[in-house]
């Protein structure tokens, strides 16, 4: 799949570039997505462009929610870009146009949370035209939201000439390599929540992968349907019919023992399972991992996720890891740099691995 990237852009003096980024984080300390946006922004500013950043934060449902303002990112941008950054707090397009027109080349602007406007998720074409009138070029550098159709993700690039940012391009390159050109054995680790989405990944990668290490809600669902007592552990009743055909497939490995609370809720893998998962991973040449193996927020239940992380690192495999909880775990454990690629996508990564079309990417082809 060919996409024009910002590397294909020449001198940008006198041009205004609208850049869809993903600043949907709790605070600037949770800065992975902010940091990963910097190369694209620097590239555009270095080319002389005026850059208007567009993002959302949280789910304000088309209303102004002050605690979901994007103004929190301003100190981070000033610190890391060393340039004058202006925050645009309202959506008066006439005033915004005047502000952009009078600005010097290589100026940077951050627009307030685009989801404060109901038109964004309503796919309002008139709103899209108004937004597009502010710029000359569109750039998508927000892989993590490219699976959700919206004006700023999937409509703007039909009006302005679209390009992929450096982060989005890197996401596609690494995920595609892991899916379509993996060094064998390929091992896929899926755990945490979103059982239906993760089973879709198994279905799509079934022929390519050698083993699937399954935990979380999907793992619990496999265990329960095999007749195992999982106590009050979370399962997904909707997945039962889907997993039936692979219920006892030798490619699917689920925990054999676990740590549970008094109600029988599975909170982490046990030592036998940690060893078995590690034995599979240590032989891998390619690994895809999405979802923690236990309730990692509690230090008592981190051993399963840590065993998986250590085994992947020891294998030296080409490794692509994603999902908000998984990346949070690796960052907290200071292991993030030991993996080939840390994806900023959760649901977007799963949809891509499941072979689904992502609206924000399809429109860039």
Q: Among 16-30, 197-211, 321-335, which stretch is predicted with the lowest mean pLDDT?
A: 16-30
Going by pLDDT thresholds of 50, 70 and 90, the confidence category of residue 28 is: confident
Average pLDDT, the chain: 95
Rounded-to-integer distance, Cα 256 and Cα 273, Å: 6
The proportion of the chain whose per-residue pLDDT surpasses 70, expressed as a percent, equals 99
- Tens of pLDDT along 143-175? 999 999 999 999 999 999 999 999 999 999 999
Angle at 346 between CA 212 and CA 197, to 5 degrees: 50
| Region for 123 from its dihedrals, namely left if φ exceeds 0, alpha if ψ lies in -120 to 50, beta otherwise | left
Distance of CA 333 to the CA centre of its chain: 19
Residue ranges of domains in the chain: 6-169, 182-353
Correct CATH for 6-169 of 3.40.50.1260, 3.40.50.1970, 2.60.40.420, 2.30.290.10: 3.40.50.1260
Q: 182-353: which CATH architecture? A: 3-Layer(aba) Sandwich (3.40)
* Res. 354: pLDDT tops 80: yes
Rounded-to-integer distance, Cα 328 and Cα 274, Å: 20
């Amino acid at each position: 799949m060919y996409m024009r990237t910002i590397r294909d852009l020449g001198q940008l003096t006198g041009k205004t570039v609208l850049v869809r980024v993903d600043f949907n984080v709790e605070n600037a300390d949770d800065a992975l997505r902010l940091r990963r946006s910097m190369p694209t922004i620097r590239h555009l500013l270095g080319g002389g462009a005026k850059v208007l950043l567009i993002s959302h934060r949280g789910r304000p449902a088309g209303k102004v929610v002050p605690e979901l303002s994007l103004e929190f990112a301003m100190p981070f941008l000033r610190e890391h870009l060393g340039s004058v950054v202006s925050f645009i707090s309202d959506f008066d397009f006439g005033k915004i146009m005047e502000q952009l027109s009078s600005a010097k080349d290589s100026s940077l602007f951050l627009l307030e949370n685009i989801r404060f406007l109901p038109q964004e998720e309503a796919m309002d074409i008139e709103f899209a035209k108004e937004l597009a009138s502010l710029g000359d070029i569109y750039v998508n550098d927000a892989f993590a939201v490219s699976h959700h159709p919206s004006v700023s993700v999937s409509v703007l690039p039909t009006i302005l000439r679209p390009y992929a940012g450096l982060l989005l391009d890197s996401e596609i390159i690494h995920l595609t390599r892991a899916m379509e050109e993996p060094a064998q054995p390929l091992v896929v680790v899926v755990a945490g929540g979103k059982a239906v989405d993760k089973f879709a990944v198994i279905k799509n990668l079934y022929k390519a992968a050698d083993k699937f290490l399954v935990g979380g809600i999907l793992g619990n669902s496999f265990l329960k349907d095999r007749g195992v007592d999982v106590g009050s552990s979370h399962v997904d009743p909707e997945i039962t019919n889907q997993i039936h055909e692979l219920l006892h497939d030798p490619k699917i490995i689920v925990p054999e023992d676990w740590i549970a609370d008094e109600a029988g809720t599975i909170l982490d893998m046990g030592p036998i399972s940690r060893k078995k998962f590690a034995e599979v991973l240590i032989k891998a040449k390619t690994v895809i991992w999405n979802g923690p193996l236990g309730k990692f927020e509690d230090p008592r239940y981190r051993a399963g996720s840590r065993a998986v992380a250590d085994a992947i690192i020891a294998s030296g495999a080409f490794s692509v890891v994603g999902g908000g909880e998984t990346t949070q775990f690796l960052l907290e454990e200071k292991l993030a740099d030991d993996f080939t690629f840390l994806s900023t996508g959760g649901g977007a990564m799963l949809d891509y691995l499941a072979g689904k079309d992502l609206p924000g990417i399809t429109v860039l082809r």
